Amino acid sequence: MKRIGIISDTHGLLRPEAEDALGGSELIIHAGDVGDAAILDALARIAPVHAVRGNMDRGALARSLPATTVVDLGAGGVWAGEERESGRGREGGRGYGGGGGIEGGGARERSRGGGEGGDEGDDGRERSRGDGGCDDDEASPGTLAYVLHDLSTLDLDPAAAGFRLVVHGHTHRPTVEEKEGVLYLNPGSAGPRRFSLPISLAILSLVEEAHGPEAAAGARGRPATGTPERSAPGTGGRTASDTPRLHVEIVTLDV
């Protein structure tokens, strides 16, 4: 079982309770409105981080983050082959800390480890530090997640594009729902409290077992809707039983 921490809308505040809740994660996704680059550095001390920018991110921080990114949840790397140009600027993965992602990248490039410290390829693109990702010669992506800040700006069909998961933020409301075999996850806000909304994040588990993909979610283990046994999105025609089961827990922080 792989444990992935999902956080959003920190707005410059990373609480110790959030760091504790993310402990043990093998990968962390931040869905935007980071607020301070130091937060990504702190998260990277827990696990490799992939992040997108939010509407409140400004200056150098905003310029360093893509509007959207695609993460192979199994390999932990950015699937840079999905990079494309859009009206919101170049979209490509950025990895932080211990592994995953290269900034930008060409149509066939996937994330690769860069050893100790960052390095640059022959074309000058910066690669993230540490181990992570998959080699160009490896076959195909696994369990893909599409990450963006504001779900209302989604301009593709995730199911048709082969995604199992869409991670988003912006509303500060934790939500989990399934549509056409794709799980849509908003972890809520882990930053300053907004109105009476909870302070929350999410833990995603990839469970390797021979069952159809189903999602269980909720602060107290309440089940979310499952999906029937079938050829799952992003699996190249494999049946759902060949792919990891996605289990989501929304963690409400006691602050």
| CATH number of residue 216's parent domain | 3.60.21.10
Going by DSSP bridges, is the β-strand pair 165-167/144-148 parallel, antiparallel, or unpaired?
A: parallel
* Domain with 126 in it: 2-252
56 vs 235: CA distance, rounded Å: 35
Dig out the tokens for 147 from the structure: 């990450």
- pLDDT at position 244 is 83
Burial 15-38 (b: 16+ CB within 10 A, else e): beebbebbeebbbbbbbbbbbebe
- pLDDT at position 142 is 78
Is the Cα torsion angle 75, 81, 85, 89 positive or negative in sign? positive
> Which residues, given as ranges, of the chain have pLDDT below 50?
80-94, 96-140, 211-241
On whether the pTM is more than 0.85, the answer is: no
**Strand, coil or helix: 143:** coil
- pLDDT at position 76 is 60
- pLDDT at position 186 is 98
- pLDDT at position 141 is 57
- pLDDT at position 1 is 81
Total domains in the fold of the chain: 1
Terminal-to-terminal C-alpha distance of the chain: 29
